[in-house]
Amino acid sequence: SVGDAILVDGGMVNFRVDSVEGPDVICSCTDPGILLPKANLTFHREGRLVRARNAMLPTISPKDWMDIDFAIENGADLIAVSFVKTAETINHLKSYLKSKCLPKAGAA
């Protein structure tokens, strides 16, 4: 509901619900911070916990893909991924690197 608080990772990042438009919830960040890939969300209404759930954010963000392209263009020797949740993430990155003609993609 409008006015509810959404806390991420126990209050490391906080949002206030400004409006609800269909399935979308429009929020303002009231206390910024860093969002980690598997954040714990808690929803508060009138100061009381309504529910908690895990958010599944993508392991490789759009900015990460831009950084990977930059690394490729500049001949990086290594690309590492943190907070990997599934093998699919690594396979997707390997396929992407191979499509960029990097024959050792995935070799360690």
For 86-108, the pLDDT digits (tens) are 788 888 888 888 888 776 665 55
Buried residues in 8-45 as b, exposed as e (16+ CB within 10 A): bbeeebbbebeeeeeeebebeeeeeeeeebebeebbbe
pLDDT grade for 30, boundaries at 50, 70 and 90: very high
The one-letter amino acid code at 41 reads: L
pLDDT at 74: 92
pTM of the model: 0.48
Q: What SS3 class is residue 24? A: strand
Residue 46 pLDDT > 60: yes
Separation in Å, CA 14 to CA 7, 45, 76: 5, 13, 36
